[in-house]
Structure 1
Amino acid sequence: MQNMSLRLRGLWADRSGLAAVEFAMIFPIMVAMYFGVVEYSSAISVDRKATQVARTLADLTSQSQTIADADLMSFGQAAKAIMTPYPGQPLVSYVTQVYIDSSTGAARVQWSKELVIDGAGNVTISGTAPHTQGTTVTLPSTLSVAKGTFVVWSEISYKYTPAVGYLVSKTGMTFRDVAYTRPRLVLCVTYPTAGFSNCATPL
């Protein structure tokens, strides 16, 4: 019994291999924390870039006097550059100009275009307008816009797919944002090929 007691005491006091045991216990937690930080920090970065894309599209459009499809596609290239190093696809952007009715204050669509970046990184303009020309849309109640003026409205939708998907869903998450600006140089931004070329006669 005395020998067994001494052996048990010796086993209890033995510290050889303790570091390896502790590492084996802590390692899974460390890995989970590492991938969690990487995935969530990437998601936050993508969210901020999506916000910047929405603001950039609205800002570039509002600085123009008149635009064509080629101009809007150039704006799309700028959007793709902002998203770097994250893939530009799937990036869907809507750029719309609305008129705030001088009598009712309703926001009516003057022109609307959809920009799409495909899997190869090509920027294209969709043939279908995201908002039908002449229809009334609802702007945020917190947005204070004077009647009889125009507003450039951009919307962005970007699906972020994590590289690992350990803590974030492997199917990804979609970030959306909007931005509103007033035309900078003129009363409104005309878009002749979209059927709007006269600021004096809003739809």
Structure 2
Amino acid sequence: MQAIAKIWRTARSYAYEFLADGRGLAATEFAVIVPLMLVMFFGTVEFSSAVAIDRKVTLIARTLSDLTSQSSSTVTDTNLQNTFTASISVMTPYDASLVNATLSEIYIDTNSVAKISWAKSATIASGATQATLTNPPSTRVAGTTVTSMIPSTLLIPSTYLILSEVNYTYTPSVKFVLKSGINLSDVAYTRPRQVTCIAYNSVPATC
């Protein structure tokens, strides 16, 4: 009996010492907490960048339509190229080469049917200081009906609209939380400010 009691006391002593030993506690807590903290940190960085770029995409869309709508006569390729180039300043300090933009003029006829009059697109090469007009001119084809994409409050018969569309593929540099790119986009509509319509390459011929 004494031997059994001694063994029990020894085992209990070892168990107590084992439970009281905290030398590995900090390392264990560190191993558990660090992955969670890294996810929170890099997730916040990547999400914040995406929100900031999304805001700039909206600003670019508004800037393009606003600048074009202020034209007082026919716009040329040079005019449009300069307008698209404004995207570089707006997107700073982020990569402007990921911006794809399109400007269109839309005519709403007497039956409130909206069609593309003319359209022009541009891209920005990495490190470039000026936008490059694309060829073919745009994915928007003249004569295409786009009534469904126009807000009902803007479908005023016998009027014109300037439409700008901007797309940006955001790819996180770290890719710790967001593993793939996210497509950010926005559109903006404005009316010609100083004239009834803004012609490009004699389109429309008359307003």
Which of the five TM-score ranges fits, normalised by the shorter chain?
A: 0.7 to 0.9
| CA RMSD in angstroms, aligned pairs only | 1.8
| Residues 1:7 and 2:17 aligned together | no
Q: CA deviation at 1:12?
A: 0.8
- Report the 3-state secondary structure (helix = DSSP H, G, I; strand = E; otherwise coil) of the residue aligned with 1:110: strand
| Residues 1:134 and 2:143 aligned together | yes
Q: Percent identity?
A: 38
Match of 2:52 in 1: 45
Match of 2:3 in 1: none
Match of 1:23 in 2: 30
Q: CA deviation at 1:18?
A: 2.0
CA distance in 2, matches of 1:189, 1:42: 36
Q: CA deviation at 1:53?
A: 0.9
Match of 1:55 in 2: 62
Partner residue of 1:186 out of 171, 181, 195:
195
Is the alpha carbon distance of 1:54 and 1:119 closer, same or farther for their aligned partners in structure 2, counting shifts above 3 Å? Answer: same
1:142 corresponds to which letter in structure 2? Answer: S
CA distance in 1, matches of 2:195, 2:56: 28
CA distance in 1, matches of 2:116, 2:202: 11
| Residues 1:92 and 2:103 aligned together | no
Match of 2:133 in 1: 125
- Report the 3-state secondary structure (helix = DSSP H, G, I; strand = E; otherwise coil) of the residue aligned with 1:95: strand
CA distance in 1, matches of 2:153, 2:90: 26
CA distance in 1, matches of 2:170, 2:202: 34
Q: Which runs of 5+ in 1 are unaligned?
A: none
* Greater percentage in helix: 2
Deviates more, 1:141-150 or 1:42-51: 141-150
1:59 corresponds to which letter in structure 2? Answer: D
User: For the Cα contact (< 8 Å) 2:61–2:166, is it kept in 1?
Assistant: yes
Match of 1:159 in 2: 169
User: For the Cα contact (< 8 Å) 1:96–1:154, is it kept in 2?
Assistant: yes
User: For the Cα contact (< 8 Å) 2:116–2:144, is it kept in 1?
Assistant: yes
Q: CA deviation at 1:142?
A: 3.4
- Report the 3-state secondary structure (helix = DSSP H, G, I; strand = E; otherwise coil) of the residue aligned with 2:174: coil
Tell me the TM-score normalized by structure 1. 0.88
Partner residue of 1:80 out of 65, 83, 88:
88
User: For the Cα contact (< 8 Å) 1:94–1:113, is it kept in 2?
Assistant: yes
User: For the Cα contact (< 8 Å) 1:99–1:150, is it kept in 2?
Assistant: yes
Q: CA deviation at 1:113?
A: 0.3
CA distance in 1, matches of 2:17, 2:177: 43
Report which of the two structures shows the higher radius of gyration computed on alpha carbons: 2
User: For the Cα contact (< 8 Å) 2:114–2:155, is it kept in 1?
Assistant: no
Tell me the TM-score normalized by structure 2. 0.86
Deviates more, 1:85-94 or 1:65-74: 65-74
Q: CA deviation at 1:100?
A: 1.0
1:53-103 per-residue CA deviation (whole Å, 9 max, x = no partner) reads 1111011111111322122112222112111111011211110011111x2
